[in-house]
Amino acid sequence: MPAPAAPRSGLSADVIVVGAGPGGSATATYLARHGVDVLLLEKARFPRDKVCGDGLTPRATRELISLGVDTSGWQRTRGLRFLGRGRELVLDWPQTDTFPDYGLVRTRAQLDEVLVRHAVRSGARLVEGTTVTGPLRDDTGRVVGVLARSADEDREDGRLVAHRAKVVVACDGVSSRLATNAGRPRRSDRVMGVAVRAYYRTPRVEDYLVSYLELWRDDNAGRRHLMPGYGWLFPLGDGRVNAGLGILDTSRAFGHTDLKDVMRRWVDSLGDGWELAHDVAAGPIRGAALPMGLNRTPLYADGLLLVGDAAGMVNPFNGEGIDYALEAARVSAEVIVQAKARRTAADCDRVLHGYPRIMRDQLGGYFTLGRWFAHAVGNPQFMRVGARLALREGRMVHVLLKLMANLPQEHGGRADDRLVRALSALAPDA
């Protein structure tokens, strides 16, 4: 059997970012603004869609503001509307000095294109239609680039292309072929979720993110079972909503339930003036995995950093990941810029090793709390009692909102801000 052909020489840059989702585009933007020559590789071509709830909490909104993205004209949300156990509770986003008091809703097709064009305007070099198959290593095993296959250029001889850089950032999503082929598989001790969603037209006007706290499935014997997860209706501001549901792998139903069928039944059961009609032109019900609680580590080693879903940076409390991808993008770019200024390779690597420490300090304890919560809600009895108490005790729900959406004021603030910060600080970073 003949040996595989050597890869052709490709592009070179200071930094290669793989994946132009929110985390990748934001990383490229921050790097380019600091004068770093950054190559942004994306396997698809824009515009392209991604399965997502499309809801952006104030935490994500703050990051978009820091990134300099113009969000004027985007659908704003005032808070959350919870429904369950025959009750309804409406909570406005908290007023803090740290986060804006509003959230946003934007389809991923729109959001991702806005962010990638923002990166290009900032100076990043974007190459679309390029699938990265794995890392390019030097004789010491350090990652010094990526091996890629272009949808167009490589059809002539089938050879891979070797793009080179001193640092590589993996932002290529939950499956992260780059991280996996670099020897960083997903951790089995971390929680996973799965979500399905589709777009629906509705006459109802809404400016809250709507969450249904009870999801039921029927077994073969006709019995109803409460699942650990929630359903959502997020208003797009154009006469449509993003409707979806998500569950955790802490449930016995995980992997044994037709979630698309559950969603169809749930959508058909909704009243309250929703009158949902499937927007067929926007696509069918689609699903995606949610990698939670830092489920792929280390976040940095041997020239390769992980950002966003590639690192499992999804909040186990609520399934939100865009805000953490944007935060990690900002932090990773700052670390890379500082590392680039060091004179020796050893000093540069020492600075890059600071990235995992910073992210663990910021998210480690909080994500541990989230994993504990995810295992607790896998118990149907906990779900029943918890939903009932939460919807009855308004004061407790305000604390839970700050905890589950990770919205405590960073310094000072009220008693509930201090409580959420203390819980995160006390939880072990495992």
Write down the pLDDT at residue 390: 61
Using CA atoms, how far residue 98 sits from 55, 91, 407, 408, in Å, is 19, 18, 8, 8
Query: pLDDT tens across 67-85, in order?
Result: 999 999 999 999 999 988 7
Enter the tokens of residue 387: 């939903």
Evaluate whether residue 388 is within a structural domain: no
Evaluate whether residue 173 is within a structural domain: yes
Evaluate whether residue 221 is within a structural domain: no
Write down the pLDDT at residue 395: 67
Give how many domains the chain has, as a whole number: 1
Q: At 146, which helix (H) or strand (E)? A: strand 143-150
Evaluate whether residue 123 is within a structural domain: yes
Evaluate whether residue 3 is within a structural domain: no
Write down the pLDDT at residue 155: 52
Query: pLDDT tens across 157-191, in order?
Result: 568 999 999 999 999 999 999 999 999 999 988 99
Helices (H), 228-315: 259-269
pLDDT band of residue 423 (cuts 50, 70, 90) is very high
Identify the residue whose tokens are 């156990």. Answer: 85
Whole-number Å distance between alpha carbons of 30 and 124: 9
For residues 218, 223, 224, 225, the Cα torsion angle rounded to the nearest 10 degrees is -90
The amino acid at residue 222 is G
| C-alpha angle 29-32-33 in degrees, rounded to nearest 5 | 85
Query: CATH code at 333?
Result: 3.50.50.60
Evaluate whether residue 339 is within a structural domain: yes
Write down the pLDDT at residue 214: 81
Evaluate whether residue 268 is within a structural domain: no
Instruction: Pick the most confident of 65-69, 148-152, 269-273.
Output: 65-69
Using CA atoms, how far residue 45 sits from 112, 280, 282, 351, 385, in Å, is 11, 22, 17, 34, 47
Evaluate whether residue 228 is within a structural domain: no
Query: pLDDT tens across 217-267, in order?
Result: 766 666 777 777 889 999 999 999 999 999 888 877 777 788 899 899 999
pLDDT band of residue 154 (cuts 50, 70, 90) is very low
Q: Please give the residue range of the domain that contains residue 183.
A: 8-75+105-188+293-369
